Chain A
Amino acid sequence: METKNDNLSPQQSLDLIASMINQAKGNVGRSSFYFLLWGWLIAFCNFGMYIVLTFTDYGEYAPSVWLLCIPAWAISAMYGRRESKTKMVQTHLDRISMWVWICMAIVITPAWVFGGKINWMMNAIILMPVGAATFLSGIIVRFNPLLAGGVVFWISGIACYFVNSTDQYLIGGIAMIFGYLVPGYMLRNQKENHA
C-alpha cells in the first residue's frame, strides 16, 4: 500500500475504508474452546447429578461434582490469557463478547452458591442468562447455530419450572448438548475450514 494521496478519489477512499473494515472482522472460531470445555463439563455435572440422585443413595454427595467448575475457571482464565498474548488485534466486539460472558457469570453465581434456598431449582434460573449470553454471542459473531443454542436454553429454562429438582438436571444436561456442544463443534469446524 502506498502513501501517496494525489490520485485517491473519494470513492476510492470509501472503498479502502470498507475493505479495511472487512479485513478487521474477527475469527468466529476462536470461542469454540470455551463452548466445548463448558459444554462437556456442565453436561457431565448435570447428568451426574441426575444419575446419582435417581439411581443411588448417595444424593447428599452429588453436589460436589460442581467443584469441577473451579479448575474449569482456571483453565478458561489461562486459555484466555494465552489467547490475548497471541492475538494481534482486540476488536470492540471481542471486548463486548468478553463482558457479556462475565456478566452472565456474575448473574448465575448466586444461584450456584445459594441454590439450597430455592430447593436446588437452579437450572430454571441459570439457563435463562446462559441462553441470553449464547444468543448474544451468536449475534456478535454472526453464527446462527449459537442463536439456536440460545433459544434451546430459554426453552429448557422454562421447562425446568415444570419439573422436580432432579429432572431439571436431565433437562440441563440435554440443553448443554444442543446449546453449547453442537454450536461449539460447528464453530470449531468453521475455524478449521478457514485455517
Chain B
Amino acid sequence: MLRELDPLLHSQLRLGIMSLLMNAESAEFTYLKEKTNATAGNVSVQLDKLSEAGYIIVEKSFNGKKPLTTCRITKKGIKAFEEYVNSLKDYIKK
C-alpha cells in the first residue's frame, strides 16, 4: 500500500525550501527567497509552517544593523524529507 505523502512537504514552495536546506548547513532568508523565486511574504509564511512542525529552526540575529534570518534543517526535518522522497519513489515505481 502506498504511503500518504507528507502534506507539509507536498507543496511546491515548502518542498523547494526543504530541498535547499537539505543541501546546506544554514541558509539566509534572502537566499531562500532568491532561489525559490517567491515573494518575501510567501517564503515567510512557509518558513513559519515548517518551523512550527519542527522541520526547521529559524534564527533571527543582526549583521551590523541589518536584521538577519537564518534557517537550518532539523533532524526531524531530515527524516521527514527522506520519508517523503521514499514515498515519491514508491509512487513512481507503481
Residue interface mask A141-160, B partner, CB < 8 A = 1: 00000000000000000000
- Is A71 an interface residue, CB under 8 A from the partner? no
The count of residues in chain B whose C-beta lies closer than 8 Å to any C-beta of chain A is: 34
Contact status B13-A3, CB under 8 Å: yes
Q: Which residue of A1, A23, A24, A92 contacts B12 across the interface (Cβ within 8 Å)?
A: A1
Contacts of B5 in A (CB 8 A): 10, 13
Contact status A88-B28, CB under 8 Å: yes
Between A8, A11, A13, A14, the greatest number of chain B beta carbons within 10 A of the residue's beta carbon is seen for: A13
Bound-state Cα–Cα, A20 to B37, Å: 11
> Chain B: which residue is nearest A20 at the CB level?
B19
A-B contact count (CB 8 A): 88
Contact status A90-B12, CB under 8 Å: no
Residue interface mask B21-61, A partner, CB < 8 A = 1: 01111111011001111100010011000000000000000
Bound-state Cα–Cα, A13 to B88, Å: 8
- Is A17 an interface residue, CB under 8 A from the partner? yes
Residue interface mask A79-97, B partner, CB < 8 A = 1: 0000001001111101100
- Report B17 CB to chain A, min CB distance, Å: 8
Contacts of B35 in A (CB 8 A): 20, 23-24
- Is A2 an interface residue, CB under 8 A from the partner? yes
Contacts of A10 in B (CB 8 A): 5, 88, 91-92
Chain A residues with a Cβ under 8 A of chain B: 1-5, 8, 10-11, 13-14, 16-17, 20-21, 23-24, 85, 88-92, 94-95
Could you name 19 residue pairs across A and B whose Cβ atoms are closer than 8 Å?
Answer: A1-B12, A1-B16, A3-B11, A5-B7, A10-B5, A10-B91, A14-B92, A17-B15, A17-B19, A20-B15, A20-B20, A23-B35, A89-B20, A89-B26, A89-B28, A89-B31, A90-B24, A90-B27, A94-B25
